[in-house]
Structure 1
Amino acid sequence: MRVGKLPARKARILAVRYLGAGVVTLLFLFPVYWLFMISFKTPDEIYHVPPLWIPGQIQFSNYYVLFRDGDVLAILNSLIVSGVSSGIAIVLGTLCAYSLARFGTGGENLAMWIISQRMIPPIAVVFPIFLIYVYLGLVDGYFGLILLYTAFNLPYVIRMMRGYIVDVPLELEESALVDGLNRWEVIWKVVFPMVRPGLMATSVFTFVFAWNDFLFALVLTRTEVITFPVMLTHYFGGQSNFWAKIAAMSVLGTLPIFVAVSVMQRYLVRGISLGAVKG
């Protein structure tokens, strides 16, 4: 009898688990759905009581206003700043990580000191950085934000990539050196292909960190290089909020992250489970 009841009990447990997972998924997806629906609603539908779950008619006027007023340039600014800073951080951070992993540069203390710099609260350094940027004329420019985001993302990249590179068998590099490759060729032809999943996962997270930054962009930009998170705050007023613009801009600002994660999805799961998590 117990043998016969065991499969049924497991089936009930599995059904409860799937039901719980489905409920949790719906709870997390509902804000996304609601934001998406608001972006297609008219002002009357947004403030309608009771709430309208689906707009009466799909209309794109909220998105048209963003393009007409040039607000979408904030998303372009974020793409430029986040993409360039992430690329530079990945290249420099991977080379530094290789030096730490293979040559023991600075010993273990240097590696711990580098990652500790990522733990500095941004609010503690944003105003000294602002004063320095004012003196150097870097406020409200691409170069200033790219330089700052690169500096703040480098410790994370170095720490992650060091863990991935340590997991690459040293014998592979030694064999390549014996075959006549120089050190740069070993890094490019041996190390990079081996750590590609970790490299892609680190790139995505680095891009997201730069994309989501609000404090530095708020303090160090004015009118020329306003980023997506800062632009969103312009729609919140003391007496009213422009919910249609907020929803439409949020949808547009989420698309680059969605595309990046979708493209790199096959690398993410494998990448975050490699040596950096263990190390």
Structure 2
Amino acid sequence: MIRWDRGWRLYLRVALALGITLVFVFPVYWLAMISVKSPDEIYAYPPVWFPSEFRFSSYVTLFRDGDAWAVWNSLITAGVSTVLAMAIGTTAAYSIVRFRTGGENLAIWIISQRMIPPICVAFPIFLLFVSWQWIDTRFGLILLYTAFNVPYVTWMMRGYIQDIPLELEHSALVDGLSRWAVLRKVVLPMARAGLFATAVFTFIFAWNDFLFALVLTKSEAVTYTVKVTGYFGSQSTFWSKIGAMSMLGVLPMMFVVATMQRFIVRGMSLGAVKG
């Protein structure tokens, strides 16, 4: 009887997990199908769940017209800003944990900066970028994303570094390593799971940004989140282009998460939420 109950519970959990997975995967599937359907199939009722023929003309059009360049802009701005934020934030976290830089309240103050609603600073940043001629430049977006993500990286890496035994660093210092060498050869390898998990979420934050990209770009540095909104019109909506651009924007995220999945799971299970 006990085995029977456990079997049913296992089946129910698996069924529930599959149901939840289908709910979250279905929008991605539907976008993928829209991107390869014919116009008649897109507007058909009842809906056509699977196209009779795969048409990749929308993707060809995006690359031919240069619209796909927006995905490359997103990759550059999100990737470079993630590297910079990780470098600055990890160093700051190490300084806060090991040297008590700023006292007990500096870490709280740093993460509080991340809680500021972006809409509150969008207009002042726009005026600043206009005066410095950074509008519609990748450099401006990279600098902005780095500034907004450094507090998050600092807070997260602070928790991971706190879990590393201090004795390991003392042993490395006795062996003649400098502080920078200890950070590079001892701390970072020990906090590798947390490092990759934090980097993935930092990249996602920058990749999904819409507000700043909308306000601070025009054409040259426009990202895919802004570009995809240009296919919605008052008189017509280009659903095939929307589906194609959305898939081009989703694929890099799927690749990053699939590649770093084990680090994300391990990183989230570590002590990064410690105060």
Q: TM-score range by the shorter chain?
A: over 0.9
Does residue 84 (structure 1) correspond to residue 60 (structure 2)? The answer is: no
SS at match of 2:46: coil
Distance in 2 (alpha carbons) for counterparts of 1:147 and 1:29: 33
Q: Which amino acid aligns with 1:202?
A: T
Q: Which amino acid aligns with 1:111?
A: A
Does residue 248 (structure 1) correspond to residue 240 (structure 2)? The answer is: no
Residues 106-185 of structure 1: pairs in structure 2 closer than 5 A: 106-185=102-181
Does residue 207 (structure 1) correspond to residue 177 (structure 2)? The answer is: no
Choose the corresponding residue for 1:260, options 242, 245, 256: 256
Choose the corresponding residue for 2:51, options 51, 55, 59: 55
Corresponding position of 2:266? 270
Corresponding position of 1:28? 24
Q: How many pairs are equivalent?
A: 275
Distance in 2 (alpha carbons) for counterparts of 1:41 and 1:207: 31
Choose the corresponding residue for 1:98, options 76, 94, 97: 94
Distance in 1 (alpha carbons) for counterparts of 2:197 and 2:205: 12
SS at match of 2:18: helix
1:96-140 CA distances to partner (integer Å, 9 max, x unpaired)? 000001001011211100000000000000001101111111111
Q: Which runs of 5+ in 1 are unaligned?
A: none
SS at match of 2:104: helix
Q: Which amino acid aligns with 1:160?
A: M
Deviation at 1:277, TM superposition (A): 2.3
Q: Which runs of 5+ in 2 are unaligned?
A: none
Moved over 2 A (4+): none
Deviation at 1:255, TM superposition (A): 1.0
Q: Which amino acid aligns with 1:123?
A: I
RMSD (Å) for aligned C-alpha atoms: 0.9
Distance in 2 (alpha carbons) for counterparts of 1:44 and 1:56: 11
Give the TM-score of the pair, scaled to structure 2.
0.98
Corresponding position of 1:188? 184
Q: Which amino acid aligns with 2:101?
A: T
Q: Which amino acid aligns with 2:46?
A: P
Q: Which amino acid aligns with 1:75?
A: V
Give the TM-score of the pair, scaled to structure 1.
0.97
Corresponding position of 1:15? 11
